[in-house]
Amino acid sequence: MVAPNPVNTILIPFSGGNPEAGRVEERGRLAYLHRWTGLPSAKALRALQEAGESVDLVTQPIEIQGESYPAGTLIVRVDGEETHEAVLKTAQATGTLFRGTSSGWTDIGPDLGSDQFPELAHAKIAVLGPDAVSSGSYGAVWSFLEQEMGIPFTAISASGLRRSLDDFDVLVIPGGMRSSAMGEETLSSVKSWVRSGGVCIALGSSSFRIGGKAGLISRSTKETQRDPKEKEPKRKSRSEIREERRHQQVPGNIVSIDLDTEHPLSFGMPEKIHGMISSTSIFKLEGDGSDVGVLPGTSPVVSGYISDENQTKLSGGVWLVAESSGRGQVILFAGDPLFRSFCRQTSEVFLNALLLFAR
């Protein structure tokens, strides 16, 4: 079948914040706050960190001096005149809004002086290189990070994974990871690094190898039961085989994804987004808080060709998984969030994974 409702809204080009809208409201003697709004906020965060400023993360809604701030808000604590200058310069360059506060007392939520606001690390990022993954998926990561966001990263080879990852906070594994890239020695090294606080992000088909076959975490895929009425295999003509393969294909579909908006991966995002999927592989719903992005129980595909059988296989599956391992995180995207820069909403979720978990 062909999903009847083409999705056009996610195809609008995005150029970032509007520099003319960038401003600072009120001079803060204590701190400046900024509500997370996706790509512009990510650029602002990196700019502040590169200027030497410490940035903390609001993990639950707060209200201060009559202003409400949702989870995901950034806090820049004033440490001299340099902070005021850095915030103003960042706001103007990225088209973002910062509001100053001279009080740490909140009307709702923890006070700003409490230890409830983790400091975000200026994440050092490694990306597994094209010798070990799909060159197309690696290229999408490179284009998004370096060309669009201006975020530097280090490409590492499969052999580099076996050596120490201690110089990095985040490891991105693009789609199409080869089985030879994650042997026992490598897996042990990556596991130890994650437990010590590293963030491992796997995209597309690599997520299933990391989440299951490689055993970085134990995450089940959604299985479908064989129909008891299904007939025994029979000899088929070439045309019948071609038609059956066409029927089984998932050439690339837009799916609806319901987000857990209280999870840091969803900060700044609406409850429902759209993303890409190009196979029927999907994670099983666990119901333990790690199911961050879940496909609807019926008709998850909103645009593209898909058979009724494959639609059923995807229904109720988990597209986005986040699971703690020691002090670190393993984040799995069943589809590639950066595929051809097509779905901007999933690009923003990827940025949250990249920047909001490194401590």
Write down the pTM of the prediction: 0.88
Give domain limits for the chain: 19-101, 125-221+236-355
pLDDT tens per residue, range 115-144: 999 999 999 999 999 999 999 999 999 999
pLDDT tens per residue, range 39-85: 999 999 999 999 999 999 999 999 999 999 999 999 999 999 999 99
Tell which wins on pLDDT, 36 or 5.
Answer: 36
Q: What is the reported pLDDT for 272?
A: 96
Residue 231 has pLDDT above 60, yes or no: no
Mean pLDDT for all residues in the chain: 87
Residue 330, C-beta contacts closer than 8 angstroms, at least 6 positions apart: 194, 200, 202, 210, 211, 216, 217, 321, 322, 323, 324
Residue 15 has pLDDT above 50, yes or no: no
pLDDT tens per residue, range 175-223: 999 988 888 888 889 999 999 999 999 999 999 988 876 667 777 887 6
The pLDDT > 70 percentage for the chain reads 86
H or E element, residue 92: helix 81-94
DSSP one-letter code for 212: I
pLDDT tens per residue, range 318-343: 999 999 999 999 999 999 999 877 78
Which CATH number does 19-101 carry?
Answer: 3.30.70.120
For residue 340 the two structure tokens come to 């051809």
| C-alpha distance from residue 284 to each of 209, 316, 320 (Å) | 15, 8, 11
Residue 10 has pLDDT above 70, yes or no: no
Pair type for strands 318-325 and 328-333: antiparallel
Confidence label for 304 from pLDDT (cuts 50, 70 and 90): confident
First to last CA, the chain: 46
H or E element, residue 67: strand 67-69
CATH topology of domain 125-221+236-355: Rossmann fold (3.40.50)
